[in-house]
Amino acid sequence: MSSRRHKDAPTKRGGAGNAPPDHGMSGSVARPADGGPVPRVHSHELLRHGEQLVIEHAGREYRLRVTSNGKLILTA
């Protein structure tokens, strides 16, 4: 059997048309009420190529920022 993956086979990281990544949390991934696909936005679109973004939600401000390791962190 070949070790090559079929181009449509799910990967661990997920992606368009693939299963969502498993981050070790139990339960299901939140889906829109209509059962359609979850909207996807690239981080560069949100951050406008910057390193921080303030999100207002329910009267509070949250800060989304890129860490020194290139990961995203959301703080209240």
For 29-46, write each residue's pLDDT tens digit.
Answer: 566 788 889 999 999 999
Q: Is residue 56 very low, low, confident or very high in pLDDT (cuts 50, 70, 90)? A: very high
This prediction has a pTM of: 0.52
Angle at 59 between CA 45 and CA 39, to 5 degrees: 35
Selected from 3.40.50.1370, 2.10.70.10, 3.40.50.620, 3.30.360.10, the CATH number assigned to the domain covering 43-75 reads: 2.10.70.10
